[in-house]
Amino acid sequence: MVGLLNSNQVMELLNIKSQTTLLKYEAEGVVPVHKRFGNRKRYRKSDIQKLL
């Protein structure tokens, strides 16, 4: 799973303090979710780097 991040890693990279804020960004399409494993979301590292 090289290149995939979990929500905690994304929050750390984007300096987001609240899970609610990350969910809001997902709903607005700012942070795209790449894959879901059961109840766990994964994000592409390249997508997050574009936001930086």
DSSP string, 21-32: HHHHHHHHTSS-
Assess whether pLDDT exceeds 80 at residue 2: no
Q: What is the mean pLDDT of residues 21-33?
A: 93
Query: Which own/partner contact pairs does 13-20 have at CB distance under 8 Å and 24+ positions apart?
Result: 13/48, 13/52, 14/48, 14/51, 14/52
Amino acid letter for position 1: M
Amino acid letter for position 46: S
Assess whether pLDDT exceeds 60 at residue 35: yes
Q: Specify the pLDDT at position 36.
A: 78
Q: How confident is the model at residue 15 (pLDDT cuts 50, 70, 90)?
A: very high
